[in-house]
Structures are given as C-alpha cells and as structure tokens.
C-alpha cells in the first residue's frame, strides 16, 4: 500500500550541506544535518568521500566543516547550543584517513568565516565591539570580568540603540558590532596548549565592517565600509599584503555596492550595482578593477540572476555558490544561476563576460564545488530529497536559452551520478505528487505555474485546494520537492503555485514591481487561479485556501482585503503596514520606501508616508471578510511581529474570524530552519486551519 507524506517526516529527513574538495581534488567532505526532537535542535555529522564512496567521519562532536588544512586534514567548527552567546571559538582537527577529532584551536574571538592563506597562516572575519575592538588581547582575568559584566547586561531590563539598523534577523542586537578582518598565525611551538598556540592580529579599523574577503597568493582582498548611523549600501575594496603588512586601496569611490568579487593571479573582478535602474533588487554588472577604477565588461548582460533564489523547506545549511578557476589563460567564474524556475551552473569568462549555462535541469542545485573539471553538488529533484551528486564538465554541453518566458531545462538527473543516499528510504513506497505545469497569460505576460494532485485524482470528484505564494518577492518556485506542499496533496488538497511578476529568473524588468505591489502581481495570481480552475473543474471553487510568507505574507494580507474568493487564509511573517515596517525592520528604512516606489537615495530626507500607506494592506482592512490565521515569530526582525499584531487586531475588532500563533525564540527563517518542534507545530496549525474551513 502506498504511504503518504506526513508532517512529522521533516524530523526524519537528512540535510547535506557545504561539500568541499581538498586542494588535490582527491577527496571531499560535507555536513549532514538532522533533527534532534528531544533537544529541539539540529545536529551535524561530517562525512567524507573518496573514489565516490562516502563514509562517516564524526558522530558525536556536532561540528561543521570550516576548511581543509591539507589534503587529509579537515578543520571543524563546533558551536554548542549552550554556548550560543559565547564569544569564544573551538576548532577541531580530523584526518579523513582515520582517527578521532582533536582540539586544534581555542580562540578568544567570535569567529565568522576563516580561510587558509598558507601553512600556518589564516585570514578570518571576527565580530568585535567597536567600543572594545581589542578585547581578544585581554588576559584571562580581564576577559572573565568583562564576560561576567556582559552577562549581567544581557539579563538587564534595557538596551541602548544609537544606529539603524540596531538589530538583524537571526543576529539579535547588532548595534555597535562590526566584522573585522583578522590574521591568525600558528606559533613555532606546536606543543603549546590550543588556547595559546595562535597569534591574532586585527587588520581593519574598529569602525570598519568587512562584508567578504578572498585570498590571492599572499594578499587578502576584502570589501567593506566604514560603519554609519544609517544604512549605507556602497562599499570599498582593499587588499592586505601579509609580507609588507600594509593595506592598500583598490577602489574607494564609494558609489556602488558589490554583489560579489573575485581575485585570481592579481586580477580582480566585481559584480557592482549603483541601484539606480531597478532599485535595491536590481542585478549587478561585471567590472574589472584597474588602477582604482571600475572597467565595465561590455560582453556581460545580467539576463538571469547569479545565486540561488529558489524557496523550499528541505535544505538547512548552505554551501559554495561560486568558484573562480584558471583555465588555460582565462579566468573562469563557475556560479549557480537562477533561470526561470530552476537553478543551473553557469560558466562566465570574466575578461569577456561570455556566459555559458552548462548544467541545467529541473529542480534545485543548492550548492557546488569544482576541481579539475569535476563537480560535486547538492540537488533536490521533483521526486527526490537533497543528496550529494557528481558531474563532469567534459560531459556537459553549453545550453542555448532563447526565451526565458517559455524555457524548459533540457538536462535531467541522468547527467548526475548520485553519491550519497541519506534520504533514499524516506520516499520508498510513498506517493509524491508530480508537478503538473500550467501555462497562462496575465496582464500581457506569458507565465506558468504548477499543481500537485492528490493520489488517484478523480475528475468526477470535488477537491479542496491551496494557493501557496512565495516570498521575496525576487524568489522563485521550482519543481523540486517541497515538503509542506506534498503534505497538503497527501491530505487531499490540490496545491497550486506559480512565479508571478516580481519573481526572479527572468531579468530585472520582470522582477521590478516597485510602486506596483498589489497591482500586476495580484492580478497574475488571480488569473493563475482562474487558469487552474478551468483546467481542473474538479476543484471546488468555494473551498480554496491561501497562504504565503514574507512577501507571500504581504500578498496574503492584500488578498484578504481585496477579494473574498478564498475560504480561509494563513498569513505568515507578513507585512501589513509599510510605515511601521519601514521604521522597525532591520531592512525597513530602505527596503520599504524602495519597494513602494521611492527614489533611490532619498529615503531619509523625504516624507513617503502617503505612498507607504497606499501599499499597506491595513489601509483596506474594512474590506476583509476571509477567516485568517496569522503566524509570526517574536525574534523576526525582517518582518517584525507588530506587522501581524496590527492586522490581527484590526480584523478581530471588525468581527472577522482570526487566530494568531507567536513562536518564541524564532526568527524570519521559521519555516526553513526553525527548531524542529516549532516547524511541526507551524505546519500542524496551518493544515488544521485549512481542514477546519473546507468542511
């Protein structure tokens, strides 16, 4: 008998993360995350692969891969839940040839990213307090005294904010905290204790924040900017020479923001954006950095986005999104790209801007690494959970993409060799609904979406349905396995989802809905529902539920104040009032005005209250009739809790059936990486709300 996808299955899934080749390309390692329901946390094991045969390296240490220290030695970063507020870092060393993990370093710093420069020399980002930037130099007694004082302050009944943003989603209070560049060196005495074997040196000024850094020979190239009281989207590019012990400026006009930069053999390239054409969500152009100037690479056009914009709920941690290699005389950037409704791996020749798509298939390539023409990647397909796969560049032909509006990827899972099998048993004898594509037109746009049909779908019966709306708005749905949607299909719902105007993968003009929130996008959704009902008349039009989170939460609030065609709705981590959101959210001061159509750079000296209110669902709450469930988290600083509170209260006092669930200790990522029990409760609440209102 065929089994069904259950809500609690998400506790059983394994989540591969961050595959990373050793320097010789002879082996690689990756993490496997999994839920510990009893402790309500996720734990991580490390796996290694030699000759395409995976084996488990760790089982009890609960650590993540940091970097390769040699072809056989891996450095791991362990952060225990009980040490969440600790400013110390423990690094462990383990050999893929056998043996237990051993303590490698105890560092008196809050370590961010760390990369090897040369034997015994490492570069890292470290979070510091601007008011006490050299706390890492304190002796043990002073350090303990300061930590005790900070603990008292953490338990105090007040905070002090002096800058915007003063908090960050998933980071807590960020006021006065900076990311500094550090150089870490091993001492000559290998017999020293782990806490005294390393020398640390801060490179950047106390008021400078480093956004990212790369290694090129004996230089560390880094992007960042001096901290300001209000958000500053522009950055500068610097290089630290370890031999000369000096910092030089590569670009300091401070008139663009970087989406990424790449260094190889002394050459530096950046993807930079002045945000004027399409606002903050616009794509960056490719430039070469020469003599303090940015030289535009004319052959490059950002027709689709670099990076992964797919939303889903079966991937926890991240991994490499790009890698720069030297091939013959060319410097090549391999990068994940979002194209229409899936991710692919593209090859960009940086000197010319030539773009070739070489690994292109339905679903979601989460991350990858490449050495000597061999790719390792994490992938989720329409009927599979994430696993680690291998592909070879020699087997891949460049793909021509003529029209992204109607493009269907030509590749398939056959292009890959599956290496890991952590989730194979989860879908054995389980009904997995296959995405059924529906093409439609709306507001002059050629669009498509999908439906998931319940098992043994019978056109002579009547079915309830769910419309699911993604966040972003510059994100996309793919055909990759989506747990919550499969749960609803297993419970007898027809599930529908689509990529409307504002979504990623089709260029900036398509993605740009500034000053049109609730306009073309809303009409696209309603036309999609009409197209689905026309193709599947077995759907009961009086029993259609609707849900969405973040931008999808905004759209849910907009929908219930502009139509009563849905029998119920579930609004998740939503926006109801662009005025309050703009003055509370960690991204609000710029994102709110930008998305509502304000001129770039004039957010702080112009009163946009009227335009912000125009696009606020709360303004139209008198029209609401739909029973609505609100789900929010009290540490969501992206779309803060008051957004749900305002909408819920406004609807309740008007006699509309509402219910609000507030998850404590969670942030904007609840549905994707929230605590296991909270993710279960969230999906139970939404599903129960739907089932109650289709009776």
Predicted confidence at residue 653, as pLDDT, reads: 98
pLDDT tens-digit series, residues 265-282:
999 999 999 999 999 889
Reading phi first (left if > 0) and then psi (alpha if -120 to 50, else beta), residue 266 is in left
Q: Provide the pLDDT confidence category of residue 600 given band limits of 50, 70 and 90.
A: confident
Distance CA 684, CA 383 (A): 23
Q: What is the mean pLDDT of residues 278-300?
A: 95
Q: Provide the pLDDT confidence category of residue 603 given band limits of 50, 70 and 90.
A: confident
In the predicted model, is pLDDT for residue 49 greater than 70?
Answer: yes
List residues bridging with 47 in a β-sheet: 30, 56
Share of the chain above pLDDT 90, in %: 85
Pick from 53-67, 208-222, 380-394, 593-607: least confident: 593-607
Torsion of CA 275, 280, 282, 284, to 10 degrees: 60
pLDDT tens-digit series, residues 555-592:
999 999 999 999 999 999 999 999 999 999 999 889 99
* Domains of the chain and any CATH numbers: 108-296 (2.40.128), 431-577+616-693 (3.40.50.1820)
Q: What is the mean pLDDT of residues 250-279?
A: 95
Helix ranges restricted to H, 502-571: 508-511, 520-535, 551-560
Closest by alpha carbon to 340, among 409, 278, 411, 386? Answer: 409
Distance CA 5, CA 31 (A): 25
In the predicted model, is pLDDT for residue 83 greater than 60?
Answer: no
Q: Which two tokens stand for residue 198?
A: 């390393």
List residues bridging with 91 in a β-sheet: 77, 105
Reading phi first (left if > 0) and then psi (alpha if -120 to 50, else beta), residue 10 is in alpha
pLDDT tens-digit series, residues 636-686:
999 999 999 999 999 999 999 999 999 999 999 999 999 999 999 999 999
Q: Where are the beta strands (DSSP E) in 119-191?
A: 121-129, 167-168, 172-173, 177-186
Predicted confidence at residue 408, as pLDDT, reads: 73
CA triplet 266, 268, 270: central angle to 5 degrees?
A: 170
Buried b (16+ CB within 10 A) or exposed e, 288-305: bbeeeebeebeebebebb
Distance CA 171, CA 164 (A): 14
Predicted confidence at residue 193, as pLDDT, reads: 77
CA distances from 7 to 22, 27, 382, 673 (A): 38, 36, 18, 15
Residues 6+ apart with CB under 8 A from 655: none
pTM of the predicted protein model: 0.96
DSSP, res 130: T
Distance CA 520, CA 528 (A): 12
Torsion of CA 72, 73, 75, 81, to 10 degrees: 80
């Amino acid at each position: 008998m065929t089994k069904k996808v259950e809500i609690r299955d998400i506790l059983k899934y394994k989540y591969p993360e961050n595959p990373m080749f050793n320097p010789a390309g002879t082996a690689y390692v990756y993490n496997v995350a999994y839920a510990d329901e009893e402790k309500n946390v996720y734990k991580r094991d490390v796996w290694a692969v030699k000759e395409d045969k995976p084996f488990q390296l760790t089982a009890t240490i609960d650590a993540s891969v940091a970097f390769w220290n040699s072809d056989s030695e891996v450095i791991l970063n362990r952060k225990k839940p009980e040490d969440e507020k600790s400013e110390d870092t423990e690094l462990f060393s383990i050999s893929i040839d056998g043996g237990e993990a051993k303590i490698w370093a105890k560092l008196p710093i809050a370590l961010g990213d760390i990369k090897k420069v040369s034997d015994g020399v490492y570069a890292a980002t470290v979070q510091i307090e601007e008011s006490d930037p050299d706390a890492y130099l304190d002796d043990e007694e002073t350090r303990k005294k300061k930590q005790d004082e900070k603990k008292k302050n953490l338990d105090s009944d007040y905070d002090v904010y002096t800058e915007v943003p003063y908090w960050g989603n998933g980071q807590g209070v960020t006021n006065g905290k900076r990311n500094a560049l550090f150089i870490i060196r091993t001492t000559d005495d290998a017999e020293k204790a782990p806490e005294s074997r390393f020398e640390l040196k801060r490179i950047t000024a106390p008021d400078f924040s480093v956004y990212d850094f790369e290694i090129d020979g004996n230089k560390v190239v880094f992007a960042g900017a001096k901290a300001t009281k209000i958000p500053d989207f522009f950055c500068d590019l610097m290089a630290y020479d370890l031999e000369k012990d000096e910092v030089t400026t590569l670009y300091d006009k401070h008139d663009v923001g970087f989406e990424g930069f790449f260094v190889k053999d002394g050459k530096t390239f950046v993807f930079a954006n002045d945000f004027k054409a399409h606002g903050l969500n616009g794509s960056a152009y490719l430039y070469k950095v020469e003599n303090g100037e940015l030289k535009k690479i004319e052959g490059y056009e950002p027709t689709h986005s670099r990076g992964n914009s797919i939303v889903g709920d079966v991937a926890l941690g991240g991994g490499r999104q790009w890698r720069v290699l030297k091939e013959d005389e060319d410097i090549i950037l391999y990068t994940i790209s979002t194209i229409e409704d899936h991710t692919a791996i593209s090859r960009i020749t940086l000197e010319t801007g030539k773009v070739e798509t070489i690994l292109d298939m339905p679903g979601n390539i989460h991350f990858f690494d490449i050495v000597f023409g061999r790719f390792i990647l994490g992938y989720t397909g329409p009927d599979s959970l994430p696993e680690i796969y291998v592909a070879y560049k020699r087997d891949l032909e460049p793909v021509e993409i003529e029209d992204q509006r109607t493009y269907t990827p030509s590749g398939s899972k056959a292009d890959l060799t599956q290496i890991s099998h952590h989730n194979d048993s989860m879908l054995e004898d389980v009904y997995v609904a296959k995405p059924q594509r529906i093409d439609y037109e709306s507001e002059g746009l050629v669009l498509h979406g999908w439906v998931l049909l319940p098992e043994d779908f019978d056109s002579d019966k009547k079915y309830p349905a769910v419309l699911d709306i993604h966040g972003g708005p510059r994100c996309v749905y793919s055909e990759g396995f989506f747990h919550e949607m499969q749960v609803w299909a297993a419970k007898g719902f027809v599930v529908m989802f689509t990529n409307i105007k504002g979504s990623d993968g089709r260029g900036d003009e398509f993605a740009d809905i500034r000053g049109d929130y609730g306009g073309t996008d809303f009409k696209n959704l309603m036309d999609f529902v009409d197209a689905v009902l026309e193709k599947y008349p077995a759907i009961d039009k009086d029993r259609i539920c609707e849900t969405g989170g973040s931008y999808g939460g905004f759209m849910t609030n907009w929908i219930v104040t502009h139509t009563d065609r849905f029998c119920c709705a579930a609004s998740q981590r939503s926006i109801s009032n662009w005025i309050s959101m703009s003055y509370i959210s960690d991204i609000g001061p710029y994102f709110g005005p930008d998305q509502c159509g304000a001129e770039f750079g004039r957010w702080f000296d112009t009163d946009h209250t009227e335009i912000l209110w125009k696009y606020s669902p709360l303004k139209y709450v008198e029209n609401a009739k739909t029973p609505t469930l609100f789900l929010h988290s009290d540490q969501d600083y992206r779309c803060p809790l008051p957004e749900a509170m305002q909408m819920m209260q406004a609807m309740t006092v008007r006699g509309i059936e509402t219910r609000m669930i507030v998850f404590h200790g969670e942030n904007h990522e609840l549905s994707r990486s929230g605590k296991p029990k909270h993710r279960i409760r969230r999906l139970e609440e939404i599903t129960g709300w739907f089932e109650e209102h289709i009776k």
